[in-house]
Structure 1
């Protein structure tokens, strides 16, 4: 049964709703007619109007009060100078809807598109289509035969977005805003990562299917899941909570209880019933980080819950329901776990519809600089103190941070900790070279057990290079020490990089900025070719 209140949002009709004398009641006035239908109760009317039409708006409000005392009319003056200017009208309405306290659980919203200029009607249509206004369209019409006080007809139009693909072009700016939101406003430069976020934005606002985020620890899976939830929330696509749990913390008999809840008395110590995390996430988002750590029983129960939106709490003989969207995260290769029998193949297939690998920091070194700036801005917001690098210190820090020597084993956690230390120790808000040198020393110590840098050609996280594996004996014997050490270092970077382009960017990180035409992959390909080598041979991967 529908218990939500009805809220109508519409413009004042300066012509159709007009009239001062008693004769106005003989005419059909669209806004007043909304409350004259016996079967329809309008609980609240948000009456949008230009400030110069305040007197007419007040008259319409009084007439509605006389006909329908149960309807609350709120006059909403808008600063619109030209009601036929699309940009001005849409911008004003967009700002109003963004700040409006929509509550879809308790209220249903109808956008009245009969009154106002055609531009205003189009703008309301677009806002409903984009879900910035979470409701349906309301079209009213006069009675076929004019009768005193006749309310006429009304029609509700629930937009089927799939039939309006052409209109998607009008929302390029909104999509750009959403992508920036997912990236926390950071102007990332890595082409592959930017393309990844572009697709995730489209999936986040269009799909409720499970999403799998993979990548190393600290790559930002949890942060991205929260941003996806917040984006869906801003579009009024979720009304429930964001529930996050690290599955590695769910061990033993308590794992199923934590996820699915339990009945009172289900086991020793179950003095009261427990709802469980899945029900807590009803109509919201459930983020299961490190999903590969779940036990076999929990995997089977989760599969049923994802597919059917129903499951049995521990000790219960009746099913309960929860309509949540699942986002899963893992640093493991679940494909290998499926082959090894550690992860259910059917569950993997269900959560792998949308799968995205978040690259670690070393895979996108060009994004280190904008992230450093972002972290300094966050520090300013938290401490109230503006902290900046001096020019030489900034260049030295970035040169180290983007070099193969920087392991970033904890990825953005390491970077965040590094910037926090520098900002805290900066006297007068200035980070100098002495602080940077000390911080580089700390990071080298932190990563000492991740490979370190013992000699030229040894790259953190990569085994030392044996050129005999790549070159024949005659070619190797013809190399002097300088060439040998240089080639070892280049091959080590290639083995650490995912693609030829990534390796080229890492190797030519300084000189590439001084070129008008940048083709890092071609430069590296030509270098390897001097020794009869190619990318596949030195890296074990295809381009």
Structure 2
């Protein structure tokens, strides 16, 4: 059995309850905790100031009378102002740093009933942060029975031990994750794990978040929901500002982002605040951040790090404090190597980086998203539409098949469902409507299908390739053409073998494969294969 040791302040009011025999008729917290039969104390470390030394000594004598086995150690703690938070915390922190805790032989309790409210808060903070390896001890007068001892209860700050609290926290976390997924019961394990991690990051940190992935994967929708989540929790009180950086060019880019002063350029007839100032206190979502020019990148880095920047054409700094979310379809690591994106800015926005998979990588989620899109169409149009059983089966079989390209990802699926629901007579999507939509999708995908001959290679080199190598290269180039990033293409191509590696580096494997033929990633994205 380990000994139990309590630490607490002398109660200058509660421990001073009359003189002589009268004091034994009233509850005194420092005496009462030592008179608990179910919780015998081996030692009480009693803190007091010199003005109340006599009261501390009398309290120690009374404890010896009711609990002879409890040793009382008096500690003089002279505070200039016991209500000053900084002074109180520093004093108790120093006490904890000097105290010779022996957690192998003793259990520690911090008595929070006595002392100022500031002292109680400081005890809690030190115990919660484990500067004090202790649980909290709360005492109170007895509702019935022994008046002197009162009642005492121990509060364990390990909330995971409290089943109801833990279950409530888990429900709240599950609700938040569901909200970030728009209430869609996704079945893709990788995507679910990623959203759970994003939820923890978003609610615990205000650092920039980088969302990468193909067009239509849901980056903009996720950013907007992150904003709604943080605003609901009062972590943000400003606006949500979204901008597609691909639309910003030249002076207009500087002006749109950072604002401008009157006369900064031709046509600047009035001052403009800019998007960064518009997002002050809120969230700024910079979609396609890779499209920003290098000058804008440099100014953005300063704005992120210092919360200060110069409006275009101005010589006076202004400020804005915002949460930054970035979106991109580019492989920014490659763009850094190519000198098209600043390495220092990439390092700053890449603390939390999440790659959203495209629809082709989440085919098991097509069915729940189908229901979501039907519900959204009904809400927006006021007309409900439903599949009949055969039509639904036919559409899902087509949509989840490996041949379905889904280049536009979830945005393309949404458009597909909207077309069928709009054309459905009496709100019923039948086999004919599904067949018509499947034909429409196939036609669109066929038109965008690249030629398979790897014309990037010069004819002489192509002629030296075995048929086996040529067919393999054709397949690799097709996957590259269908993928938004080098990493996405690598995951598709090495889906089986990557499971056997502790740290798969799909992008590096694909880059080395292309280099064998004198090719790089950029060439696979911008090529004429005719």
Task: Answer yes or no: same fold by TM over 0.5.
Answer: yes
Q: Report the equivalent of 1:167.
A: 159
Measure the CA separation in 2 of the matches of 1:192 and 1:428: 39
Q: Report the equivalent of 1:206.
A: 204
Measure the CA separation in 2 of the matches of 1:422 and 1:313: 48
Measure the CA separation in 2 of the matches of 1:342 and 1:494: 21
* Residue number among 228, 231, 239 corresponding to 1:230 in the alignment: 228
Contact 1:334 1:348 in 2 (8 A): yes
Q: Report the equivalent of 1:127.
A: none
Q: Deviations over 1:152-186 (max 9, x none)?
A: 97889599798498437451110000000000000
Measure the CA separation in 2 of the matches of 1:501 and 1:333: 14
Q: Kindly tell me: are residues 160 and 445 of structure 1, through their superposed partners in 2, closer, same or farther at Cα, counting changes over 3 Å?
A: farther
1:285 aligns with 2:277: no
Q: Report the equivalent of 1:347.
A: 345
Measure the CA separation in 2 of the matches of 1:278 and 1:216: 26
* Residue number among 315, 318, 337 corresponding to 1:317 in the alignment: 315
Q: Report the equivalent of 1:361.
A: 359
Q: Kindly tell me: are residues 503 and 403 of structure 1, through their superposed partners in 2, closer, same or farther at Cα, counting changes over 3 Å?
A: farther
Greater gyration radius: 2
Q: Report the equivalent of 2:385.
A: 387
Contact 1:182 1:197 in 2 (8 A): yes
Q: Kindly tell me: are residues 439 and 315 of structure 1, through their superposed partners in 2, closer, same or farther at Cα, counting changes over 3 Å?
A: same
The within-5 A match list for 1:399-438 is 399-438=397-436
Q: Cα distance, 1:383 vs. partner? A: 2.5
Contact 2:407 2:482 in 1 (8 A): no
Measure the CA separation in 2 of the matches of 1:342 and 1:504: 28
Q: Cα distance, 1:385 vs. partner? A: 2.5
Q: Kindly tell me: are residues 406 and 202 of structure 1, through their superposed partners in 2, closer, same or farther at Cα, counting changes over 3 Å?
A: same
Contact 1:211 1:328 in 2 (8 A): yes
Contact 2:213 2:329 in 1 (8 A): yes
Q: Report the equivalent of 1:468.
A: 468
Measure the CA separation in 1 of the matches of 2:351 and 2:384: 44
Q: Report the equivalent of 1:4.
A: none
SS state of the match for residue 386, structure 1? Answer: coil
RMSD: 3.8
1:450 aligns with 2:442: no
Q: Cα distance, 1:491 vs. partner? A: 13
SS state of the match for residue 313, structure 1? Answer: coil
Measure the CA separation in 2 of the matches of 1:141 and 1:192: 48
Q: Cα distance, 1:450 vs. partner? A: 3.0
- In the alignment of these two chains, the number of paired residues is 342
Q: Deviations over 1:276-311 (max 9, x none)?
A: 110110111100000000011100000000011111
Q: Report the equivalent of 1:512.
A: none
Contact 1:141 1:154 in 2 (8 A): no
The within-5 A match list for 1:26-175 is 163=129, 166-167=158-159, 169-170=166-167, 171-175=169-173
Q: Kindly tell me: are residues 281 and 496 of structure 1, through their superposed partners in 2, closer, same or farther at Cα, counting changes over 3 Å?
A: closer
Measure the CA separation in 2 of the matches of 1:252 and 1:294: 10
SS state of the match for residue 265, structure 1? Answer: coil
In the superposition, the TM-score normalised over structure 2's length comes to: 0.58
SS state of the match for residue 239, structure 1? Answer: coil
Contact 1:361 1:368 in 2 (8 A): yes
Measure the CA separation in 2 of the matches of 1:160 and 1:232: 25
Unaligned stretches of 5+ in structure 1? Answer: 1-139, 145-151, 455-465, 473-487, 506-520, 526-535
Q: Cα distance, 1:438 vs. partner? A: 0.3
Measure the CA separation in 1 of the matches of 2:246 and 2:479: 33
Q: Report the equivalent of 1:377.
A: 375
Q: Cα distance, 1:388 vs. partner? A: 1.0
SS state of the match for residue 250, structure 2? Answer: coil
Unaligned stretches of 5+ in structure 2? Answer: 1-111, 131-156, 161-165, 453-465, 501-508, 515-530
Higher relative contact order (CA 8 A, sep 6+): 2
In the superposition, the TM-score normalised over structure 1's length comes to: 0.57
Contact 2:113 2:120 in 1 (8 A): no
Q: Cα distance, 1:493 vs. partner? A: 8.9
Measure the CA separation in 1 of the matches of 2:331 and 2:477: 25
Q: Kindly tell me: are residues 278 and 298 of structure 1, through their superposed partners in 2, closer, same or farther at Cα, counting changes over 3 Å?
A: same
Q: Deviation above 3 Å: which 4+ runs of structure 1?
A: 152-170, 469-472, 488-505
Q: Cα distance, 1:325 vs. partner? A: 1.0
Measure the CA separation in 2 of the matches of 1:250 and 1:419: 32
1:219 aligns with 2:217: yes
SS state of the match for residue 335, structure 2? Answer: helix
Q: Kindly tell me: are residues 347 and 489 of structure 1, through their superposed partners in 2, closer, same or farther at Cα, counting changes over 3 Å?
A: closer
Q: Cα distance, 1:234 vs. partner? A: 1.0
